[in-house]
Structure 1
Amino acid sequence: MTKRKRSPRRPTAAGVIGCVVCGVLLAGASYLIEACGGIGFVPSWEQLATWLGVPVGGPDAADLAEGDATVTFFDVGQGDSVLVASGADTCLIDAGTPDAADSLVAMLYAAGVTELDTMVMTHPHADHLGGMARVLQSIEVETLVTPPLSEDERASAQVAEVLEWADTTGTAVVTAADEMTIAVGDGTLTVLMAGLPEADDVNNESLCLRYSLGDFAFLDTGDAEADAEEALAARCGFGLRCTLFKAGHHGSSTSNSETLLSLVRPE
């Protein structure tokens, strides 16, 4: 018996409409996940991948060390000091306490740092600027970036010492402003917010910084507390997303608010 050849089935109007509707729904879902993924009932791409058993790639410590940028956290006791390096460029964010100053310089030397393109003071507290005078004495620093400082803050003993050593060593001193950018290698360090305007607490004067290079981003909010974090969140929104986040104010409960963390969502 000869079998009849079946003619190819033509798409029906209902099928075409169904495909269009599916495409629109997928596009809408993609937009929703991109904008709100990980918040409330909306899953992130990473969560979806985990549920579906799809491996998720991302930079780990080795990748960052061998790639175009490195972020190094120095142990300076109850204080902060972070080195961002890319190519031949280096930027030191804060310099720990006075007691850790010599150790910080030794760690910089051990890391191969003999000069700094930029050193940033997030705010004028001793556990962040305490080692800056010693760094200026020991290592050539091209530019010192400070937050907007009041006359009283400039006259305080530790800030005055840092500014005097900057003058002695020929280091340029620049006052940070909102949206100021600093090139570090192929990446950019951006001052997202130069402190909370009219802050009633020195912690809320902290520079909020974001370094970005390709798909990598690092966020450092100094000691900014909840009020400053709210202002930062309102200003930047999802632009705060990052790969790496240094917990604000040494991980204190006065910082790292749910509002901020829901936007940052570090890896």
Structure 2
Amino acid sequence: MLTLSSASILPFTFPTWGDAYTAVTGEPASSQSVFALAEISSAAQSKSSTSETLSGKQMSVYIIDVGQGSSTLFTTGDNSILIDAGENDQGGKVLDCLNALKINHLDYIIGTHPHSDHIGGMDDVLKKVEVDTVILPKVPDAILPTTKTYEDVLTLLAEKKIKVITAAPGKSYVIGAMKLETLGPVGEYDDLNNESVVSKISFANTSVLVSGDAETAAEKDILKKDFNLKSDIYVAGHHGSSTSTGKAFLAAIKPAFAAISCGENNDYGHPSASTLQKLKDKGVTVYRTDLNGTIVFTTDGKNIAVKTEK
């Protein structure tokens, strides 16, 4: 029997996993059961369920509820990576999470693309937290200028003399017990969404794929490369929009879980019914920040435990 806890995760702490939490192995998505979103704390059967608690060194992945935006934190306690920081008015929410976890140093920040709902809060983070390296996409001259928010971030990075790397497909970085791979963008596009940095973070045998706002055109180009996209957790592209999470891309990822970061009753209709149906058809267990608040996945490299804010 597999049970999802609806207990609050605020203030943010490293979870101590026990019987109240989901614990599943990182097996193919076909072995996972689908949970009705309105019944997130109900029980269901899963071939990969286990009563074992997590042990040893762990990585936690926080899908921070920043409303209609995106911010994902990876941390082992020793090392931390932040991907995006939500809208301009959500930087404080990201800092609250970092402060509660006593994280005052980030090894890497990835700004997936220049839209403010992804990098708007980044200046708040850069002003308060020590950051070693920032990874950003190369924006083609054809679609310059970008956004004032992005230009402000670039100015702050220069002022603070923080190392900036342009995302290169196929490049990998070892960050303590984590491995970061940048998989996209692999081409140039006329849409900033498709210039999103697509990344895969691995911890032992567990991996997470984050695709920013990359849409199907960018997804198709990534599929042409010889990348291993298989990931246990998929942070769904473009807030679950119908323009992302193409069938072939999803089939290559084969996730057991998907996390969708979107605002409650947002004006964009995110997530789309078509994306939710594709995930359901593949047997993917879905979590949404608009319904579940902040979502925390914790893994020991083999098993994955899940906890939601609500």
Give the TM-score taking structure 2 as reference length.
0.64
Letter in 1 for 2:224: A
1:59 Cα shift?
11
Aligned residue number for residue 29 of structure 1: none
- The match for 2:206 among 189, 210, 216 is 216
Asked whether the equivalents of residues 124 and 153 of structure 1 are also in contact (C-alpha less than 8 Å), the reply is no
- Aligned residue number for residue 6 of structure 1: none
Distance 1:58 1:221, change over 3 A: farther
For 2:244, the equivalent position in structure 1 comes to 255
State whether residues 188 and 211 of structure 1, in contact with CA within 8 Å, keep that contact through their aligned partners in structure 2. Answer: yes
Return the alpha-carbon distance in structure 2 between the equivalents of residues 80 and 93 of structure 1. 8
Kindly provide the amino acid, as one letter, of the partner of residue 248 in structure 1.
Answer: G
Higher relative contact order (CA 8 A, sep 6+): 2
Change beyond 3 A, Cα 1:113–1:178: same
**Structure 2 counterparts to residues 171-182 of structure 1, below 5 A:** 171-182=162-173
Q: Report the AA paired with residue 192 of structure 1.
A: L
Bigger helix share: 1
Change (3 A) 1:255 1:58: farther
Relative to 1, partners in 2 of residues 1:59 and 1:137: Cα closer, same or farther, differing over 3 Å? farther
TM-score normalised over the length of structure 1: 0.73
- Check whether the contact 1:79–1:96 (CA below 8 A) recurs between aligned residues: yes
**C-alpha RMSD of matched pairs (Å):** 2.6
Q: Which residue of 1 aligns with 2:179?
A: 188
SS of residue matched to 1:145:
strand
Cα gap change, 1:154/1:264 in structure 2, threshold over 3 Å: closer, same or farther?
A: same
1:225-244 → structure 2 map (5 Å cutoff): 225-236=215-226, 239-244=228-233
1:264 aligns with 2:256: no
Aligned partner of 1:113: which letter? I
What is the match of residue 188 of structure 2? 198
Is the Cα–Cα contact under 8 Å of residues 226 and 254 in structure 1 kept in the other structure? yes
Which of residues 161, 166, 169 is equivalent to 2:152?
A: 161
Report the AA paired with residue 180 of structure 1: K
Percent identity of paired positions between Structure 1 and Structure 2: 33
The aligned amino acid for 1:82 is T
Deviation at 1:133, TM superposition (A): 0.9
Structure 1 residues 182 and 54, CA gap change in structure 2 (3 angstroms): closer
Contact kept, 8 Å, 2:187 with 2:221, in 1: the verdict is: no
Aligned to 2:60: 70
Cα distance change, pair 106–201 in 1 and its aligned pair in 2 (3 A): same
For the pair shown, the structure with the greater C-alpha radius of gyration is 1
Displacement of 1:83 in angstroms is 0.6
Q: Secondary structure at the match of 1:144?
A: strand
1:56 maps to 2:48: yes
Structure 1 residues 71-110: aligned runs within 5 Å: 71-110=61-100
Shift, 1:99, TM fit: 1.2
Which sections of structure 2, spanning at least 5 residues, go unmatched?
A: 1-27, 33-44, 257-310
CA contact (8 A) 1:191 1:207 kept: yes
Residue of structure 1 in register with 2:234 after alignment: 245
- SS of the residue corresponding to residue 182 of structure 1 reads strand
Task: Output aligned runs, 1:120-131, within 5 Å.
Answer: 120-131=110-121
Offset of 1:262 from its aligned partner?
1.2
**1:87 positional shift:** 4.5
Q: What's the offset of the Cα at 1:251?
A: 0.6
2:146 is equivalent to residue 140 of structure 1: no
8 Å contact 1:122–1:208 — kept in the other structure? Answer: yes
